[in-house]
Structure 1
């Protein structure tokens, strides 16, 4: 007697396949526990009795796609999150970046833009902003719109300010935003040198000649094969002796591409791309 897979597992497989074939968003190699949790939350919040019902609606109503993507993509971040990471960039990576006449920085999985603005402020404080071109990418179009506006609740600013100070900030965070009806509106000059782009680490190609790639707390949502694809993409995107920053719970230790990198700041998960 053959024991069939649980119905919900089948529904998840079919929904992810439909999402890929209909809209070319590929979540099939995301960590299954995370996807299951997010799909269940979406089903409940969007008012569907089953994942199959949600799949049927998704196939016939494109307006449901951005609402579902808000559940499937991670939009939780804060400015200067993990201040030690940004202090390490400031103190140990920036001296190397200063040796280049121009720089390219890729914030992969930029979410609502908190990390992008953190890096833009850091590099402005270090005198590198005017020679840097930033690429801020995400697969969620709503997140990219939010990132491009640079508007955050004033309730978040106290935490952002504390993080900035702990990161070794050389100015006041208030120099970079104005308060407006309960919102902090960040200076538009911080995004004058930013290219915002829809980009999937699952299916899209490299951004070439990057000096720094920051992709933090994204790989933890991928399975091992997709993690390897993403790390290979970063390897091929970086210049020789370029830098890769990952999240505090992420590592290259078991990656098929680990030999292409060495640990540069071990505690803060900053890696150095080796030569060819």
Structure 2
């Protein structure tokens, strides 16, 4: 059996609790088509140890976007992210696996597991900050509100929520919070502290970071493509994929083209960058 067929399957504990049936299906497909070693970590430390001891096996994560982010961050900090490819079988509520699907990972345990076995590696860009934080998809400042978690919500929880809403109607729409931020892209000043900023978004594009600065509904957005983006100003929080970080006063993100590999369905993937 080739090294490609030797897998280390790390099953995130959140996935096991939230959708054990999808986890079982994915595990059966993977074990039926490869020599798979199954790891069932109970927490972040065991998750990290499992990845560190993978040897020559291809790492496969069964879990949601947070599990994927954890795996990429660990491999990046070990300076082994570029050595091979990572694979993912997304398991969790729709809101918790949006990043995985946006990267091209199939929906459904069977389709995703088959892509692990039969797919091809696509090299993807990565945003890395000076504290070794990583961004796979979108970065937003200020941090956008996360969708409420759907795990463990019962009918009674839904009823109680409805009653509270009827007795205490929600408040009017909140005023958009603004910041005064200095934003530089490859050393070029996009906005400074003398202007109010409504939102800054950064996304790894085709070999460059795509930066958009919004000053409000009546002003055109300022856009740029760059290899480095620096944001500074008063304390601000930012959302990087599924994680909120801060407050910080300055942060620089550097784009690393093709820094990591993700196994995706083979059709239209070979040669992608």
Scaled by the length of structure 2, the TM-score of the pair is: 0.29
If each structure's strand is expressed as a fraction of its own residues, which one has the higher value? 2
Q: TM-score, normalised by structure 1?
A: 0.29
* Higher RCO (C-alpha 8 Å, min separation 6): 2
